[in-house]
Amino acid sequence: MREYEVRVSPSAMNQMSEAVRYVHDELFMPQAAFDLLGDLESAIMGLSRMPFRFRQVEVEPLLSAGVRRMNVCKYSVFYVVDEERSAVDVFAVLYGSPTNQRLRKAFQEGR
């Protein structure tokens, strides 16, 4: 089975850090924050195998770019598979189901 290198953009890293910080500091749930970080990291690293198992986003221009979405807890992880380089590029980790406008903005910022 082919292995892919998983690369996480700085903006996606910041979004994950902010989510964990929010759960820890604002909701006062340190164990839940720790669990969330573990779940996100595990799921993202799991993209190294079979990254095509998640559906493409059906919103242009993201569809044409091959953007895919994986749900982890209440977060959506957005990424692109680069077959030529055998890499998965994670560009956004957003809470819930983002609007198309917010998703397009995250795509532009995370690339």
Task: Tell me the C-alpha distance between 76 and 69, whole Å.
Answer: 6
Residues across the chain: 111
- The model carries a pTM of 0.93
The pLDDT tens digits of the residues spanning 71-89 come to 999 999 999 999 999 999 9
Task: Tell me the C-alpha distance between 94 and 62, whole Å.
Answer: 15
CATH code of the domain in which 31 resides:
3.30.2310.20
Strands 87-95, 5-8: pairing is: parallel
The pLDDT tens digits of the residues spanning 3-31 come to 999 999 999 999 999 999 999 999 999 99
In the chain, the number of structural domains is: 1
Q: Confidence class of residue 106 from pLDDT cuts 50, 70 and 90? A: confident
Residue ranges making up the domain that contains 92: 5-110
User: In the predicted model, what is the mean pLDDT of residues 87-101?
Assistant: 93
Structure tokens at 96: 């819930």
My answer on whether omega of the bond before 61 falls inside 30° of 0, hence cis, is yes
